[in-house]
Structure 1
Amino acid sequence: MGEIRTPAKVKIIVGILAKDAESVEAVRGVLKSRFGEEDLNLEPFPFTFTNYYKEEIGEAPVRAFFSYENLVDRETIVDIKLWTNDIELEIAKENGTPGLRPVNLDPGYMTLGQFFLATTKDQRQRVYMQRGIFVEPTLYFQDGHFHAFDWTYRDYQSENYIKYLEEVRKRLAYQMTTGKPYSQRNKK
């Protein structure tokens, strides 16, 4: 039997899918109030991988990503996903579109070995956490790069996402090694 240990803390990353850059910016402050200082952002860019969200978000959605300096216990992803779901519903209500989300928030977390997304939908590759929330191993890190699983969404296999997530991983590795956020790397 192996020794039971609490796993290392993880880095939270939130993907935002929205109708435009202004909508991303509007939710950015809400996320920062929950997660603290941003670590690395991937500013809004056209999301062209699927038209699945067309009815809710519109014809030309944008995607953005934000990672945060504060590391958290991985099991907090359940509370985080429930909270982001509530934020989506609040925004829909404020926009007068209950039931249609003009903003889709996709929280996940990164370890040095994998990137996981939280979801409310069950599938064979997803692990149930609690309170209706599952996590899906989305990418794994090997030979210096992130790699996709057979089930990984196409957009998460794209070069743009992979480059961003690999940079976030460098920052996480620095943080885990030094105990300081990457933004503090040149400060004594």
Structure 2
Amino acid sequence: MKVPDLVNLVMFIFASHIDYWFNELKPVLEERFGPMDYVSDNLDFEKYTLYYSEEMGQGLKGKLVSFERLIHPYQLADIKLETNSIEKMFSIEGKRKVNIDPGYIHHTQFVLASTKHWGNRIYIGKGIYAEVTLAYVRGKFKDMEFTYPNYREEEYKKHLEKIREIYLKKRRKILK
């Protein structure tokens, strides 16, 4: 039986006033998941959807982050439950102030966790689904039919490719 490759934990964190909330959140995330080894520039998020605006406010921006420590893919469900719990810690009057979307990068794909079922998502346990958001084909990330609009953008893919390069270096060290 082949053991699945370790993968690189990635999170997309978005909020109104992202710099403030990221500074509040970073120590909590690093305590739970270990040091971050990549933090993107602020990325526009609000132009892709207004779905979160009523709950979280206007001017939503986000950051893609990578964690130093590699994980097993089976950990994704537990990680999503943990990030949901962290979102609740930072909620005010029942409204989230920050949204944390965990996933992972493998050399062949970018996978995101979700609590919502959809035709392109596979149940991975504990009320959590996983979707292949982007596939790495012929040297670049390729959209899927159901890829969220923000992940179709070159700006997002550029950061994910940088994280993928970091992952490949970590992977080479393990495989030696």
- Sort the TM-score into its range (normalised by shorter chain): over 0.9
CA distance in 2, matches of 1:142, 1:167: 16
Aligned equivalent of 1:119: 114
Contact 1:24 1:44 in 2 (8 A): no
| Structure 2: distance between partners of 1:7 and 1:179 | 13
Partner of residue 42, structure 2: 44
Count of paired positions:
173
1:55-97 CA distance string (max 9 Å, x none) = 11111111111101100111101110000001111111xx3x2
Q: What amino acid sits opposite 2:55 in the alignment?
A: E
Q: What secondary structure does 1:179 align onto?
A: helix
Give 3-state SS (helix, strand or coil) of 1:174's partner. Answer: helix
The one-letter code matched in structure 2 to 1:9 is L
> What residue number does 1:101 align with?
96
In structure 2, give the amino acid aligned to 1:6.
Answer: V
Alignment partner for residue 169 of structure 2, among 167, 174, 184? 174
Alignment of 1:145-156 (within 5 A): 145-156=140-151
Describe how 1:67-82 pairs up with structure 2 within 5 A: 67-82=66-81
Partner of 1:87: 86
**Structure with larger Rg:** 1
CA distance in 1, matches of 2:99, 2:153: 19
Unaligned runs of 5+ in 1: 181-188
Alpha-carbon distance in structure 2 between the residues aligned to 1:163 and 1:45? 11
CA distance in 2, matches of 1:31, 1:25: 10
Aligned residue in 1 for 2:134: 139
Matched, 1:162 2:160: no
Query: Offset of 1:38 from its aligned partner?
Result: 1.1
Identity %: 34
Q: Structure 2 length normalisation: TM-score?
A: 0.94
Q: Which amino acid aligns with 1:79?
A: D
How far apart are residue 175 of structure 1 and its match?
1.1
Amino acid at match of 1:153: Y
Q: Which has the higher contact order (CA 8 A, sep 6+)?
A: 2
Specify every segment of 5 or more residues in structure 2 that has no aligned partner in the other structure, as ranges: none
Q: Distance in 1 between matches of 2:117 and 2:103?
A: 16
Aligned equivalents of 2:119, 2:60: Cα separation in 1 = 29
Report whether the alignment pairs 1:129 with 2:127. Answer: no
